Amino acid sequence: MKDAKILIVDDNKSILSALNLLLNNSCKKVKCISTPNSLMTELKIDNYDVVLLDMNFKAGINTGNEGIYWLNQIFEYNPGISVIMITAYGDVELAVKAVRNGAVDFVLKPWENEKMLTTIEMAWKLSRSKKEVSSLKLKESELVAQINSKQNPIIGTSLVWQNLMKLVKKVACTNANILITGENGTGKELIAREIHRLSNRSQNVMVNVDMGSIAETLFESELFGHKKGAFTDAQSDRMGKIEASNKGTLFLDEIGNLSLPMQAKLLAVLQNRSLTRLGENTAVDIDLRLVCATNCKLTKMITKGTFREDLLYRINTIQIELPPLRDRQDDIPELVSHFIKLYADKYNKKGLNISTKAIAKLQNYTWPGNVRELQHAIEKAVILCENHLIGINDFVFKMDEFTKVEAYGGTLEEMEKQLITAAIEKQMGNLSAVSSQLGITRQTLYNKIKKYGI
């Protein structure tokens, strides 16, 4: 108990002297006061671990009510302090009353020194445990607040995006299981975090699990947890991701990548709302909000026999389909502005702007990688930009212009016009380079430019 701080409150000076002598060499601090009137002031001066509190202070009164009163005052100020009641009157009912009010133990005068030391040490360990738990809860709440505050902003004013956000706000306040679908890069995790932030579970954690990255051999250990010795590499007890999300939100990303055996195990947990760690026999009840995401067509997978229909019903109370970026082109300027500011700050390129032609080029691109591809394109442009204006030539896309024309789906003449226009733009008006790229003569190119009024 070398770090323990003990406060002793007793009106008998011989009792104070005896306890001070007993504890002084084994504790960091021992403070003795003879009246409870200065008790609360003393507690505010230092962070005590244990209080030894007499139950009677007025001569001729042995009811113990004074001690109970000051016990309640201590806990009202700091519920983490361990209090041991001391009295010369061995009243069992009084002892029960003190313990019911929160005292950790009850000691009779005169005491045995070894027993007194053991009782105080137990009380000190309990106080220390309470402080550790309180500290962990504080860290957890701070972490949750930090995670929520660092969440990427939800950007979009287009009609399709605003309708989507109305649905998100409507379902977030419920406990319904939600399935988020959409192409890669559309922001499925961002929407999952927004659902959690708007829910009544936002003060608890959201646990993110990438189902596609978990090896089948480690599935049960990662999601359900294990007991030490449950298998060869289980060196210690471990809580699984599902149990860690208790009282919060469990986000299962890429759920379409689960094998059928893993789907069956997950379904059992979701149906029973309980799980058993590997190596244990006792089930643990869980209370969580389930949000899943996938870019797979789960209904087609059911037809092929690669996804369980009953699991789909379990995870799909509400489905939210995220639109691809090509269907929300009106949001591109706002997204571009956000990413330029983000990366201008990151790479210390203050005052960056973007030309209207560059914005038009970005809005005309099909964005197969959606918002994620746009973000990477802006980051690259910010890095490579040599002045304060990002221009049309600062963007080079992974998809070539032929793929863009293929996605156009117009008439042959319309597609040819768009192909020529795109090639002229790419070659910055160098018609020799354009004719070379398209595999036609310069004269043929001139004729087509005149024909289409390019």
> How far are the Cα atoms of 130, 172, 268, 391 from residue 166, in angstroms, in the given order?
43, 10, 32, 35
Residue 270: closest CA among 289, 253, 296: 289
Mean pLDDT of 262-285: 89
Mean pLDDT of 349-365: 92
| DSSP three-state, residue 7 | strand
Average predicted confidence (pLDDT) for the chain: 86
Q: What is the pLDDT of residue 401?
A: 46
Contact 93, 61 (CB under 8 A): no
pLDDT category, 9, cuts 50, 70, 90?
very high
Helices 431-438, 442-452: axis angle to 10 degrees equals 100
Could you tell me the two tokens for 316?
A: 């799909």
181: which DSSP letter? E
Q: What is the pLDDT of residue 405?
A: 47
Q: Strand 274-275 to strand 284-285: parallel, antiparallel, or no bridges (unpaired)?
A: antiparallel
Contact 186, 161 (CB under 8 A): no
Q: Which one has a higher pLDDT value, 151 or 182?
A: 182
With a cut of 90, say whether residue 3 has pLDDT above it.
no
Mean pLDDT of 331-355: 94
> Is the previous residue joined to 324 through a cis bond, with omega within 30 degrees of 0?
no
With a cut of 70, say whether residue 155 has pLDDT above it.
yes
The one-letter amino acid code at 254 reads E
Q: What is the pLDDT of residue 403?
A: 47
- Asked if CATH classification 1.10.8.60 holds for the domain at 329-452, the reply, yes or no, is yes
Same fold, 156-321 and 329-452: no
10-21 tens-digit pLDDT: 988 899 999 999
Q: Which one has a higher pLDDT value, 49 or 107?
A: 49
Residue 290: closest CA among 315, 273, 266, 313: 315
Mean pLDDT of 64-84: 87
Q: What is the pLDDT of residue 399?
A: 47
Could you tell me the two tokens for 384?
A: 């490579």
Q: Which CATH architecture has domain 156-321?
A: 3-Layer(aba) Sandwich (3.40)
Identify the H or E element spanning 363: helix 356-364
CB burial of 21-56 (b: ≥16 within 10 Å; e: otherwise) equals: ebbeeebeebbbbbebeebeeebeeeebbbbbbbbb
Residue 56: closest CA among 77, 43, 71, 74: 71
Helices (H) and strands (E) in the chain, counts: 19, 16
Q: Which one has a higher pLDDT value, 363 or 443?
A: 363
Contact 369, 185 (CB under 8 A): yes
Q: What is the pLDDT of residue 249?
A: 94
SS3 content of the chain, % helix, strand, coil (to 5): 55, 15, 35
Q: What is the pLDDT of residue 63?
A: 66
Half-sphere exposure of 383 (CA within 13 A, CB side): 6
- Residue 226: CB partners within 8 Å, gap ≥ 6? 220, 234, 237, 238, 240, 277, 278, 279
Structural domain spans, the chain:
5-133, 156-321, 329-452
Its pTM stands at 0.61
Contact 67, 54 (CB under 8 A): yes
Strands (E), 169-213: 178-181, 206-210
Q: What is the pLDDT of residue 144?
A: 62
> Cα–Cα distance between 130 and 120 in angstroms, integer?
15
Q: What is the pLDDT of residue 147?
A: 57
pLDDT category, 145, cuts 50, 70, 90?
low
Name the class of domain 5-133: alpha beta
CA angle 111/116/117 to nearest 5° reads: 150
39-54 tens-digit pLDDT: 999 998 888 999 999 8
Percent of the chain beyond pLDDT 70?
A: 91
Q: Which one has a higher pLDDT value, 227 or 142?
A: 227
| DSSP three-state, residue 245 | coil
CA angle 265/271/272 to nearest 5° reads: 95
Contact 62, 89 (CB under 8 A): yes
Identify the H or E element spanning 294: strand 289-294
